[in-house]
Amino acid sequence: MQVSGTAISSTGLTKRFGTLAAVDGIDLDVPQGSVYGFLGPNGSGKTTTIRMLLGLVFPSAGRHCLLDRPTDEALRHVGALVEGPAFHPYLSGRANLLRLDAADRTADAGTAANRIGAALDRVGLAAAAGKRYRNYSLGMRQRLGIAAALLQPRELLVLDEPTNGLDPQGTREVRSLISELAADGVTVFLSSHLLSEVEQVCTDVGVMSAGRLVWQGGLAELRSQQAPLVRVETDQVAEAAMLLRGLGLVEVRTAPAEVRAALGDAAPEQVLAALVNGGVAVRGFAVVRASLEEQFVGLTGEGFDVSG
């Protein structure tokens, strides 16, 4: 369900540590009702940005707004899971949530049991509520962290690497939960370095690189910008790469038995003819669209983890 408005906005948001700009003047625009993938290699400034948005560290410059409200008021409507959940290992899942809820001055003690039960049920942990946290799997621990963020009604959920370290089953569980929350109208701001995670659950994307926001917009819009590539299958990789560069093709990348390059304005049939006339034994030739991974490499100059 899409909702009009902006869940997160920032102007010139910056955080410096000495002379290092960990976050350098970023302008976020996160639509309400979206699942916004905040994507970038490790160390690109994602977690520092999240900590500023949540008031955990002060920005060096710039400003930001959550849910079109003053920060103190907005944070009551924001749930967060930052740098992994931290719970008492000897307590059960339910007991851990009871302690967290009791520490919340805005929480109604009279409704605690119902709210905790609902949060546990929401993340699929109702049957394991009495189990000690130290016996939880990684996926269960992440889901309990999300349950803690949902003890109060939330309009915005901020998740920092929620599937980090999870096995495939745990990853699927967390992704399914994110999709369910989004379907109910909760805006989810999801920090990740996993392309597969973003492709499967996100509607919008912001790409960070070295502290800067290098791209932002709808995932469908990003996919529509995928430029055509020429893919050549050959055992003469070096010769084919040199010939493609000689034709003026750019972004030439080699792999075992394969060369890829941005086609640009070149005609595919002319490229193929030039390869054959140049003595390159071509076993396969195709024009393909750049993958999402290749787009992000082009935006950041770095590779991404595509697993998960």
Tens digits of residue pLDDT in 19-55? 999 999 999 999 999 999 998 888 899 999 999 999 9
On whether both 34 and 131 belong to a single domain, the answer is yes
The answer to whether residue 132 sits within a structural domain is yes
On whether both 21 and 138 belong to a single domain, the answer is yes
On whether both 131 and 193 belong to a single domain, the answer is yes
- What pLDDT shows up at residue 304? 55
How many whole angstroms separate alpha carbon 96 and alpha carbon 114?
Answer: 15
Whether 308 has a pLDDT exceeding 50, the answer reads no
Domain count, the chain: 2
On whether both 25 and 122 belong to a single domain, the answer is yes
The answer to whether residue 109 sits within a structural domain is yes
Whether 3 has a pLDDT exceeding 70, the answer reads no
On whether both 151 and 268 belong to a single domain, the answer is no
The answer to whether residue 1 sits within a structural domain is no
On whether both 178 and 257 belong to a single domain, the answer is no
On whether both 140 and 174 belong to a single domain, the answer is yes
The residue with tokens 């000495």 is 18
The answer to whether residue 299 sits within a structural domain is no
Q: What's the CATH code of the domain at 285?
A: 3.30.70
Q: What's the CATH code of the domain at 26?
A: 3.40.50.300
The residue with tokens 């084919």 is 240
The answer to whether residue 301 sits within a structural domain is no
On whether both 137 and 31 belong to a single domain, the answer is yes
On whether both 255 and 279 belong to a single domain, the answer is yes
Q: What percent of the chain has pLDDT over 90?
A: 60
Q: Which domain holds residue 180?
A: 6-217
**Please, where are the H alpha helices in the chain?**
46-53, 71-74, 93-102, 112-122, 138-149, 168-183, 195-201, 219-224, 237-246, 268-277, 292-300
On whether both 245 and 123 belong to a single domain, the answer is no
* Residue 161 structure tokens: 């690497």
**Contact, 138 vs 170, CB < 8 A?**
yes
How much is the average pLDDT of 222-227? 76
**Contact, 184 vs 155, CB < 8 A?**
no
Whether 228 has a pLDDT exceeding 60, the answer reads yes
Reference 177, options 135, 133, 132, 147; nearest CA is 147
On whether both 92 and 52 belong to a single domain, the answer is yes
Reference 191, options 36, 25, 10, 14; nearest CA is 36
**Please, where are the H alpha helices in 27-108?**
46-53, 71-74, 93-102
On whether both 115 and 256 belong to a single domain, the answer is no
Question: What pLDDT band is residue 284 in, cutting at 50, 70 and 90?
Answer: very high
How much is the average pLDDT of 226-235? 89
The residue with tokens 């597969």 is 196
More confident residue, 173 or 183: 183
The answer to whether residue 300 sits within a structural domain is no
Whether 124 has a pLDDT exceeding 70, the answer reads yes
